[in-house]
Amino acid sequence: MPVDFSGTWNLISNDNFEGYMVALGIDFATRKIAKMLKPQKVIKQDGDSFYIHTTSTFRDYLLQFKIGEEFEEDNKGLDNRKCKSIVTWENDKLVCVQTGEKKNRGWTHWLEGDDLHLELRCENQVCKQVFKRA
């Protein structure tokens, strides 16, 4: 049985979000707003199908995918760059590779105790986020 990430999760820590946003080319004014946010994630996991809705007072972002199926991702409201994305299981970790203009772009989700962890990668920057159940 795979891990179940389903639930509503609130951000409690956000390490090097600034470096990640700089690597994505997010402008100064937008970064200033974005780093103040405490996003919430609503995750619905149904077999191989995932729904991950990241919401905040400023922007929100919806991602829906199936494990192992490549899809076009538009990153609308984020850096707006299109990429080809694919999410797979690596043991109990959910790993996304986002192939496009930015090298080494992707993310990994995993559970640790009661917490949801997320590593966001772009070029040489790694942002580490931790969420607790709402």
Q: Which residues bind ligand YOG (CB under 6 A)?
A: 21, 24, 26, 30, 34, 37, 39, 41, 52, 54, 56, 58-61, 63, 78-79, 107, 118, 120
Nearer to ligand YOG, 24 or 86 (CB): 24
Pairing of β 83-90 and β 93-99: antiparallel
CB of 93 to ligand YOG, least distance (A): 12
Q: What is the DSSP secondary structure assignment for residue 72, as one 8-state letter?
A: E
**84: its two tokens:** 């080809």
Nearer to ligand YOG, 26 or 86 (CB): 26
**15: its two tokens:** 């390490």
Instruction: Give the torsion sign (CA, 121, 122, 126, 130).
Output: negative
**6: its two tokens:** 């389903």
CB of 38 to ligand YOG, least distance (A): 10
Type of residue numbered 74: D
Nearer to ligand YOG, 91 or 107 (CB): 107
CB of 34 to ligand YOG, least distance (A): 4
Instruction: Give the torsion sign (CA, 115, 6, 108, 105).
Output: negative
Nearer to ligand YOG, 59 or 93 (CB): 59
Task: Give me the residue label for tokens 């790993």.
Answer: 95
CB of 125 to ligand YOG, least distance (A): 11
